[in-house]
Amino acid sequence: MFKNKKILITGGSGSLGFALTKRLLTLDVDTIRILSRNESKQTAMEAEIGSDRIRYLIGDTRDLPRLEKALEGIDIVFHAAALKHVPVIEYNPFEAIKTNVIGTQNVIDACLKQNVETLVGISSDKAVSPLNTYGATKLLMEKLLTTAHNYLNKEKHRTKFLALRYGNVLGSSGSVLPKFIRQIKAKEKITITDPNMTRFSMTMDQALDFILESAKAGKGSELFIPKLKAYSINDLKDALFELLEDTGVKILGIRPGEKMHESFINFDEVRYAWEYDDKCVLFNATKKDDDIKKIYPEIQRIEFAEKYTSNKVERISLKDLKQIILNSGFLEN
C-alpha cells in the first residue's frame, strides 16, 4: 500500500509524526511531506533523519489554502495535528475547536479537492464520553471523519476516510514516563495525581503497527480501536523505582478534566461495536448490519459485555512494564 506513495503527515514534527516518518521510510515510500507550525522541531527532525525523500512545510490545518497546496499530488494523509494538553485547552477551549474540529474539516475538504486516496485521522481515548474540552473536540473529529463519505461524488472522488482511537503512547514526549524519570534522576519525589489511576499500555511500535495496519484494512467510514492491556500509575511507579531508585511520591490529586480510567468504548457504543482483524471497529450508528457484513464478510460482534476500560482489561506484568521502559530509551537521556 505504501510503496512509491506520496504521503503527508499533519503535525508531523511531533513525537508520533517523527516515529511514523522513520517507519514509512523503511517501506519504500516516494515522498513524505511534514506539515507543522514548529520550525524548531522541523529543523531538528531534518538534522536527525536527513533523508532526501522528506519535504518540510510550515503550515497550519486552520489554513485551508495552505492545506490544499500542501496536498497537491499526495496519495495518503495521516492527520496527527492537534492541540492536546488538557489543562491548556480547558483555559483556551475555542482555540482547540479551531485546530481539532475546524482544522480536521479543512483537511477533509483539502483531501476531497486534491482527490487524496486515504485520510487517516488520529483520535484519542478522551473522545469516549468526554469529560473535558479536548475529548469533546476529538469526538467531533471522529464524527467528521466517519461521516465524510457523505460528501463523496463517486464519479469524482476516491478518498477513504477513517479514524483511529487510542490512548497515550507510553514513553512518548507527552506521557508521564519521561517526567517521572527526570524527577527521579533529579532526586525529587515523583508527582502522581492518583496511584490507582489506570491507563492502557501502548508502545510507539505498537502504535505505528496499529496505524499502518488500519490504513491498509480500512474501506472507509471506520473508527478503529486497538485491543490492549493496561497498567496503573502505581505499577509504573514501582517499575521505575526498581529500575532507578525510590525517591518518594507526592500525591497531587486528579487534575480538572482528567479521567481516573481510560475508556476505549463506552456502554452505549458497545451496541455498535465489531471485531475485525484483531481490532475493535465502530461505524456510524446509522449504518446497517447487512451493509457492514457485505464490506467485511468476516466481521463479528464484539465480546465486551459492558464497556472497554483500562480498569477492566488484563494488566501488563511488572516485568513487561520494566522492559517497555528500558526499550523507550528515556533512561539513557
CATH number at residue 21: 3.40.50.720
User: Which residue in the block uniquely carries the three cell numbers 483520535?
Assistant: 123
DSSP string, 19-58: HHHHHHHTTT-SEEEEEES-HHHHHHHHHHH--TTEEEEE
pLDDT at 116: 97
pLDDT at 76: 98
Domain holding 78, by residue range, is 6-167+203-227+264-309
pLDDT at 182: 92
For residue 121, give the DSSP letter. Answer: E
- Across the strands, what pairs with 79? 10, 121
Asked if residue 191 is part of any domain, the answer here is no
Asked if residue 85 is part of any domain, the answer here is yes
- What whole-number distance in Å separates Cα of residue 169 and Cα of residue 203? 5
pLDDT tens digits, 261-308: 989 999 888 888 999 888 999 987 778 889 899 988 889 888 765 778
As annotated, the active-site residues are 126
Asked if residue 277 is part of any domain, the answer here is yes
pLDDT at 264: 94
Asked if residue 294 is part of any domain, the answer here is yes
For residue 102, give the DSSP letter. Answer: I
Amino acid of residue 19 = A
Ranges of the chain whose pLDDT falls below 50: none
Q: To 5 degrees, how large is the angle CA 142–CA 256–CA 268?
A: 40
pLDDT at 152: 78
Asked if residue 333 is part of any domain, the answer here is no
pLDDT tens digits, 124-141: 999 999 989 999 999 999
State how far the alpha carbon of 277 is from the alpha carbons of 18, 110, 203, 227, in Å.
27, 30, 20, 11
pLDDT at 41: 96
Cβ 167 vs Cβ 262: under 8 Å: yes
Cβ 58 vs Cβ 70: under 8 Å: no
Total domain count for the chain? 1
pLDDT at 305: 59
- Across the strands, what pairs with 17? none
pLDDT at 139: 97
**Plot region of 277 (φ>0 → left; ψ -120 to 50 → alpha; else → beta):** left
pLDDT at 304: 67
* Cell numbers linked to 327: 526499550
